[in-house]
Amino acid sequence: MTNLPRSIRGAILASVAALGLASCNMDVTNPTVIDAGTFDPTSDGRTLALSAQTNFYIAFQSVALYGGLISDELWTGAIRLQTNRLASRTFLGSDDINADFFAPLSLAVASNENAVTALAKGANAASDVNLARASMNLGYALDLMAETMCSGVIQGGPELSDTQLLDTAVAAFTRAVSTASAAGGDGSDIVNQANVGLARAYLQLGDYANAAATAALVPSGFVANVVTTGNVSTQGTLGNQLFGTTVGGQLVAPERYRVHDPRMPIDDTTQAVPTLNGLPSIIQTKFTSYADPIRLASALEAQYIGAEAALLGSGDPGPALALIAARRTAGGEGAFGGGTNQAVFEELLNQRARDFWMEGKKLGDLRRGLQDFPTLSLPNVLTDPVGATFYTSVGGGTFGSTFCAPIPPEETNANPNF
């Protein structure tokens, strides 16, 4: 270098300096995406927990909507073959099962589980209300997956049976209860909500003693909702989708629900669209805006769980009959005639179907009921029987017997455990 003429040296040095200065910093700003490495799971714990909770809310509504088609809570006037196969319980794994059920449930499970894992590393994890919230929503997401899917998968793992999913849900709810109890304050609502979920999981597992005991812990009058929003820019995802979908007439109230029970309000007089592809456009009015909340857990559900646990666990129909009487009165119905335990059980499910219409519970009820009583009368629980003629001509055929959704091919094709 020292032998080079001065001008060359200058040019080369200047070039190197220029290029070095221009290139030394390759840092860029891309706020459109959030680098996970810049997100602090501890200090951003509330954001993580509430974000994961919203994922559960979205999954819950999807199950309430599409699961409602399977369980006859809603009828569809859609001309789409896949939707009609869902409604006639003759669907296939490839029929949007991923989009309607599996993907949103998986996101709810994964995001809450990831939040729990991240927050568990915090110094005050044992009493972290965010951890409690995520753990509770993980339990609900797993419970919902167990009630909806024929089997499940957690974050790329192997196929899990309903029992395995529910066992995991029980663990999540239990952690939620203990953490929220330690947190105090806001944690009390989480304790109650988690206890309803825990009782529900026990009931699904057939652990009636624990179901009854846990349900008994829920104070009267307790209600926890899936919170929705009427904010125009987000209502399409965060608003009440049962309102959003049914108000346009895409879904209508099934014939068995058109009995003017005040718990199942419908509008059969002023439909904007008289018929929808041959179906009378009789729509629900239980939800009348995007901002209407959807009941998720309540003392009433705890009562139902306690009554069912007593009936099926110890054969005591007393609590069930008392609850049935109260609920029939609420619905403006006459007294229940009573009968065998199966008849009492069917009536209990009938009342549950009315009380919790479009609240994401009926599919689980049907699966549980058919498991406990294979001869369960579906019409008695407001459901079209297997073999009955399907209500629209699109796709034709009769009602089938598929009450759970198989793991979709999107998962089985991409998950090496399958």
Provide the minimum distance between the beta carbon of 66 and other proteins in the complex, in angstroms, as a whole number. 15
Q: CA of 110: how far to CAs of 38, 137, 154, 300, in Å? A: 20, 11, 7, 29
> Would the CA dihedral through 335, 69, 144, 356 be positive or negative?
negative
29 binds other proteins (CB under 8 A): yes
Nearer to other proteins, 58 or 78 (CB): 58
Q: Write out the binding residues for other proteins, residues 224-263 only, by CB under 8 A.
A: 227-229, 231-234, 238
Phi, psi of 287 (to 5 degrees): -110, 125
Q: Are 95 and 88 in contact (CB under 8 A)?
A: no
Q: Residue 291 interacts with other proteins (CB under 8 A)?
A: yes
| Residue 151 touching other proteins (CB under 8 A) | no
* CA distance linking residue 66 with residue 337, whole number of Å: 33
Q: Which amino acid is at 255?
A: E
Q: What residues from 166 to 225 belong to the interface with other proteins (CB under 8 A)?
A: none
Q: How far is the CB of 273 from other proteins (least distance, A)?
A: 14
Q: Which stretch binds other proteins (CB under 8 A): 54-62, 67-75, 81-89, 339-347?
A: 54-62
| Closest distance of CB 115 from other proteins, Å | 10
Closest Cα partner for 380 from 410, 355, 345?
345
Report the distance separating Cα 242 and Cα 356, nearest Å.
Answer: 13
Residue 1 in the binding site for other proteins (CB under 8 A): no
Contact call for residue 3 and other proteins (CB under 8 A): no
Options 1, 2, 3, 34; binder of other proteins; rule CB under 8 A = 34
The two three-digit tokens of residue 86, written as one number: 């869902």
Question: Tell me, what DSSP letter sits at residue 49?
Answer: H
Question: Rule CB under 8 A: is residue 323 a binding residue for other proteins?
Answer: no
Among 42, 51, 127, 188, binds other proteins (CB under 8 A): 51
Return the residue of 250, 342, 380, 415 that touches other proteins, per CB under 8 A: 415
From the number of C-beta atoms within 10 Å of its C-beta (0-12, 13-18, 19+), residue 416 rates as exposed
| Residue appearing with tokens 């959807």 | 294
Query: Where does residue 315 fall: left (phi above 0), alpha (psi -120 to 50 degrees), or beta otherwise?
Result: left
Binding flag, residue 148, other proteins (CB under 8 A): no
* Complex with other proteins: residue 73 or 95, whichever CB lies closer: 95
Pairing of strands 279-280, 283-284: unpaired
Q: How many residues bind other proteins (CB under 8 A)?
A: 70
> How many CA atoms are closer than 13 Å to the CA of 362, on its beta-carbon side?
26
Binding mask 84-103 vs other proteins (x if CB under 8 A, - otherwise)? --------------x---xx
Binding site residues, other proteins, CB under 8 A: 5-8, 10-15, 17-37, 39, 47-48, 50-51, 53-55, 57, 98, 102-103, 106-107, 109-111, 114, 153-157, 227-229, 231-234, 238, 291, 293, 408, 410-411, 413-415
